[in-house]
């Protein structure tokens, strides 16, 4: 092979290598620009030397605005010392493993990021700068915050449930001398709490329909055709769900033993309305929730008993626990073949507010 051929071949190899190198560089640039993570390079003086599209989206600066400026522009004042430590470690050839911190956008907003920093070396193996990969983890941090809040809320609700159950045990034990009866009453009342809880869990604690709540608590007693529910469609707050749920359980239990749900000729009408507030002493125009349980049935021999013999835990719930927990008042009236329970409470303590909507009046039987 002549010398001219060798030179030509060498030139071809060099051109091929340059072409391959250019192709690799272009491919690398495309990968960096298409990355969802911010990829930034800087020199050992913390001056930005490259800035990809994800960095523009994350931090709000264009490449023209960022390149040539100090990376410190992204660091909140109270975290400035981080950059000194990072550059010190990069100079020593260390790779800064992924860690979570806070950075500042162009508009001043703070975002949570996960950072990884690696040294950049030149062809001679000398460290000349650093490559930084930043991932926005604000959404993950917000999820963690919500989970912590939820856990605290769950803890609070569980403690409340324990307090209610302890109160049930205490009050029921005062009024029961038979261990078997005591066990049955406690079991039934805890199951009633569970029904209310299930409705709240289904809605992710956003509330529950008043129709659904009444139906759920009266379903175990049967005789749906003897029950009429009438009133506006309302979504109850969690506190109202639990306390009204206890009240409906006690009313249903009493009715199955002594009233309408214990005979074929009985009838229960549960109606509720929204009106002007009787508890609005300050004249602020606060609206009021008013509910009436009106139960009629043929008189029974049991109705001749002294009323005091039937002042059990249910009466305590209806006259004191439920109304007081809702900031309202209640009246319970009994006579032969008739029971009437009327509750009035501020609407704000009952429903989940839904701005811009007005409840529509409806009437429907239990089984519909």
* Integer Cα distance of 59 and 362 in angstroms: 53
- 224 to 52, 176, 264, 279, 366: CA distances (angstroms): 67, 30, 11, 34, 5
CB 250 within 8 A of CB 332: no
CB 117 within 8 A of CB 86: yes
Least confident range from 118-132, 174-188, 228-242, 266-280: namely 174-188
Span 87-106, average pLDDT: 91
Three-state DSSP state, 344: strand
* Confidence bin at 8 (pLDDT 50/70/90): very low
CB 87 within 8 A of CB 46: yes
- 96 to 51, 87, 114: CA distances (angstroms): 19, 10, 11
Task: Tell me the CATH class for 178-365.
Answer: alpha beta
Question: Which residue in the block uniquely carries the two structure tokens 């009342």?
Answer: 189
The values of phi and psi at residue 232, to 5°, are -70, 155
- Calculate helix-pair angle for 179-202, 210-218, nearest 10 degrees: 150
- 311 to 168, 251, 303, 308, 314: CA distances (angstroms): 14, 13, 13, 5, 7
End-to-end Cα, the chain, rounded Å: 100
What residue spans define the domains of the chain?
28-136, 178-365
The whole-number pLDDT of residue 361 equals 42
Q: Exposed (0-12), middle (13-18) or buried (19+): which is 279, by Cβ within 10 Å?
A: middle
The values of phi and psi at residue 167, to 5°, are -65, -40
- Tens of pLDDT, residues 199-213: 777 776 677 888 889
- Calculate helix-pair angle for 138-174, 179-202, nearest 10 degrees: 160
Task: Judge whether residue 341 has pLDDT over 90.
Answer: yes
CB 85 within 8 A of CB 101: no
The whole-number pLDDT of residue 285 equals 63
CB 289 within 8 A of CB 274: yes
DSSP 8-state secondary structure symbol assigned to residue 359: P
Tokens at 31, concatenated: 């990968």
Span 231-256, average pLDDT: 88
**CATH superfamily to which 28-136 belongs:** PAS domain (3.30.450.20)
- Tens of pLDDT, residues 13-41: 455 555 555 454 455 555 566 578 899 99
Q: Going by C-beta distance under 8 Å and a sequence separation of 6 or more, which residues neighbour residue 126?
A: none
Q: Looking at per-residue confidence, does 67 or 222 come out higher?
A: 67
Task: Judge whether residue 196 has pLDDT over 90.
Answer: no
Task: Judge whether residue 74 has pLDDT over 90.
Answer: yes
* Integer Cα distance of 167 and 197 in angstroms: 17
Task: Judge whether residue 343 has pLDDT over 70.
Answer: yes
């Amino acid at each position: 092979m002549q010398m001219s051929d060798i030179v030509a071949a060498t030139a071809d190899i060099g051109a091929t290598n340059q072409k391959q190198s250019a192709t690799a560089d272009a491919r690398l640039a495309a990968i960096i620009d298409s990355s969802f993570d911010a990829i930034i390079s800087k020199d050992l003086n913390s001056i930005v030397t490259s800035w990809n599209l994800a960095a523009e989206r994350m931090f709000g600066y264009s490449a023209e605005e960022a390149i040539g400026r100090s990376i410190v522009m992204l660091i909140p004042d109270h975290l400035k010392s981080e950059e000194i430590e990072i550059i010190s470690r990069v100079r020593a050839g260390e790779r800064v493993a992924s860690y979570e911190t806070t950075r500042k956008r162009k508009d001043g907003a703070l975002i949570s990021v996960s950072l990884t920093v690696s040294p950049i070396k030149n062809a001679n193996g000398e460290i000349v700068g650093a490559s930084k990969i930043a991932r926005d983890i604000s959404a993950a941090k917000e999820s963690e915050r919500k989970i912590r809040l939820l856990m605290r809320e769950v803890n609070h609700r569980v403690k409340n449930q324990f307090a209610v159950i302890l109160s049930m045990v205490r009050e029921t034990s005062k009024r029961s001398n038979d261990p078997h009866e005591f066990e049955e009453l406690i079991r039934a009342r805890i199951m009633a709490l569970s029904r209310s809880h299930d409705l709240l869990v289904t809605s992710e604690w956003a509330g529950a329909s008043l129709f659904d709540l009444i139906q759920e608590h009266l379903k175990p007693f049967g005789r749906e055709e003897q029950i009429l529910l009438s009133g506006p469609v309302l979504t109850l707050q969690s506190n109202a769900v639990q306390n009204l749920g206890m009240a409906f359980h006690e009313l249903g239990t009493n009715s199955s033993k002594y009233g309408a749900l214990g005979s074929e000729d009985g009838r229960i009408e549960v109606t509720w309305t929204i009106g002007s507030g009787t508890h609005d002493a300050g004249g602020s125009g606060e609206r009021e929730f008013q509910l009436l349980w009106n139960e009629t049935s043929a008189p029974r021999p049991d109705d001749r008993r002294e009323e005091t013999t039937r002042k059990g835990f249910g009466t305590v719930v209806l006259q004191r626990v439920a109304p007081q927990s809702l900031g309202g008042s209640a009246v319970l009236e009994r006579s032969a073949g008739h029971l009437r329970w009327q509750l009035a409470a501020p609407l704000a303590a009952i429903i989940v507010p839904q701005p811009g909507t007005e409840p529509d009046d409806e009437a429907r039987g239990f089984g519909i």
